Structure 1
């Protein structure tokens, strides 16, 4: 079949670009399985294994879908009724006023269930883009990976967890020492190092030398690419039990608690986790090829005239607090 993947950001990714990495790996895997892929993305994009069309946000989407396309894969909710069979991946948490779609696909089972759906596909990545990690490297810090300016990501919780330990250090990937977006917030401790938004080899090096990911989010995380990326580099996960995390983080590869004292105690035993097991779990379960095969089943369903959800998904509990408990 010929799949059109629609996204509102350029490819290939230039920085972190979580969704861009997912759809890149998806297209590459679909291509390897014998399918044709075309991207409809903003001007300036390119791809060596798929055709690229320039998306114009000023024009109706239907006018930009070529006749030869069999199925459309959207990564944002459609603003019009489409003439072609389609699916739409819901990548984030949407508010209760957002009208979803009967062909919505969520990125974890928990994500789907919170909207009354059973339609989900776990995110996968093309691990060849990351190289084969050296799991025998010495580990000298923990890391936080995410948009630290988002309060739900709780970088302060990660900092507090590390500082409660006798001497552990933390590399913050995705934040700065002085943060003015949430008022004046300055982290003084020399045990916390900030790297800003990192990508490329610097990011891979930092993950390769990390003892583990500290990820104390205070919302229901839809998926969390930081989790699977960290696991791939042999890093166990120390996080809160919210959203997809109990689904992704088994006791063999991490520890979950919403209490920073418990997490601080747990990180002292980071070396007890088997780094090879962490790596193999991410490599074999959260890879782009596994993801692509599941999306193909969804494409086949909509091509056969089926909806992926019997009813339009809607948020099941609109009373979830903005910040989930953390102590």
Structure 2
């Protein structure tokens, strides 16, 4: 099939450092090429891909040193280019949230839109009612809960390429936290777990400008002078395998409706179990007692750390390959593409519901 993948422009594809959506787009695109599809990736020029690259910006927005830039203008230019070339593709797969909805109404039946973010936002229901002709994909079943009547075509869990993550049969004796420093990610819980157990904790985390005050006021005091906690900072893809593989477990102590949580399957790819709080997608991703433990309290998390020796790291890797490889993800998307191609959904736009 001739497939267009339309990525956000905030990060490179894949990201140079932290980044979720663009990383998934990169893995999906390359896996689709490996399956024999003719794939064109619309992204910034610093993308690394085995597909045909349609470069629509000189570099990704976040690491662009230009002091003044417009993310809206960049995405509008990209969407115009996609629409200009739309006849070249059987399927146009958008990863740009809802931005394209007003501009592709006449082509909605040949589009697929994967929603990567949280959907419990005040202004979203009228949008999905107004543009109900767009087939949607969720990245977890839990993600759908705020919008149960949207035009869901399927759920496709994320996948990552197994060859990028080495199985580590033995750990190096520390707990890991990988992600963003933000209130909803609850790095304070990770520190509390490690401190109460007297275990080492390595934190590889990005600090967004919006969360700088939270880090300074809430998290840094918990790290400063704590001999058990090592703050590594933001790491690259190339560093993840060693970082995650060396851990006894990944701590995923979230406190928000996480749509997916890519780091969980990256950890499983290394054979490293995940201890995650029961929020959002977690029960769909972590197989309790097999690939980790799903907990609902700090005490349960402490108990889970003590139970880590009962888990088999090779089995965790095997479960990852079965459920969360990039090829498994690409095959699931291919099935949806074929369904769309066989039965185009070209309904007229629905009336706005308030």
TM-score (norm 2): 0.79
Taking the aligned partners of 1:12 and 1:22, their CA distance within structure 2 comes to 8
In the alignment, is residue 71 of structure 1 matched against residue 73 of structure 2? no
Structure 1 stretch 253-262 or stretch 237-246: which is displaced more? 253-262
Deviations 1:160-206 (A, max 9, x none): 111111x2111111157xx7422523222110111111114432211
Taking the aligned partners of 2:177 and 2:277, their CA distance within structure 1 comes to 13
Q: What displacement does 1:24 show?
A: 1.6
In the alignment, is residue 97 of structure 1 matched against residue 131 of structure 2? no
Q: What displacement does 1:214 show?
A: 0.9
Provide structure 1 residue ranges, at least 5 long, that are not aligned to the other structure.
313-327
Shift in CA distance, 307/181, structure 1 to aligned 2, threshold 3 Å: farther
CA contact (8 A) 1:169 1:192 kept: yes
Taking the aligned partners of 2:39 and 2:153, their CA distance within structure 1 comes to 26
Match of 2:156 in 1: 121
CA contact (8 A) 1:89 1:105 kept: yes
In the alignment, is residue 169 of structure 1 matched against residue 200 of structure 2? yes
Of Structure 1 and Structure 2, the greater helix share is in 2
Taking the aligned partners of 1:113 and 1:289, their CA distance within structure 2 comes to 27
Structure 1 stretch 198-207 or stretch 236-245: which is displaced more? 198-207
Taking the aligned partners of 2:46 and 2:250, their CA distance within structure 1 comes to 34
Aligned pairs, number: 304
SS of 2:283's partner is helix
Q: What displacement does 1:232 show?
A: 1.3
CA contact (8 A) 2:18 2:179 kept: no
CA contact (8 A) 1:302 1:308 kept: no
CA contact (8 A) 2:92 2:112 kept: yes
SS of 1:28's partner is helix
SS of 1:119's partner is strand
CA contact (8 A) 1:141 1:168 kept: yes
In the alignment, is residue 145 of structure 1 matched against residue 182 of structure 2? no
Structure 1 stretch 199-208 or stretch 292-301: which is displaced more? 199-208
In the alignment, is residue 195 of structure 1 matched against residue 232 of structure 2? yes
SS of 2:154's partner is coil
Deviations 1:28-54 (A, max 9, x none): 22112221000111233342x211112
Shift in CA distance, 113/306, structure 1 to aligned 2, threshold 3 Å: farther
Provide structure 2 residue ranges, at least 5 long, that are not aligned to the other structure.
57-73
In the alignment, is residue 133 of structure 1 matched against residue 153 of structure 2? no
Q: What displacement does 1:152 show?
A: 0.6
In the alignment, is residue 230 of structure 1 matched against residue 267 of structure 2? yes
Deviations 1:198-247 (A, max 9, x none): 11443221112100011111011111111101111111111111111111
Deviations 1:241-281 (A, max 9, x none): 11111111112222222211221122022122111111111
Q: What displacement does 1:119 show?
A: 2.2
Match of 1:325 in 2: none
CA contact (8 A) 1:175 1:195 kept: no
Shift in CA distance, 205/291, structure 1 to aligned 2, threshold 3 Å: same
- RMSD across aligned C-alpha pairs, in angstroms? 2.4
Taking the aligned partners of 2:185 and 2:136, their CA distance within structure 1 comes to 25
Q: What displacement does 1:81 show?
A: 3.5
Select which of 21, 24, 32 maps to 1:22: 24
**Paired residues for 1:1-327 under 5 Å:** 1-9=1-9, 10-47=12-49, 49-55=50-56, 57-59=75-77, 60-61=79-80, 62-76=82-96, 77=98, 78-82=100-104, 83-84=106-107, 85-94=110-119, 95-98=121-124, 99-100=127-128, 102-116=134-148, 117=152, 119-130=154-165, 132-135=166-169, 137-148=170-181, 150-165=182-197, 167-175=198-206, 180-182=212-214, 184-185=217-218, 186=220, 187-188=223-224, 189-251=226-288, 252-307=290-345
SS of 1:125's partner is coil
Taking the aligned partners of 1:142 and 1:87, their CA distance within structure 2 comes to 39
Taking the aligned partners of 1:72 and 1:201, their CA distance within structure 2 comes to 30
TM-score (norm 1): 0.85
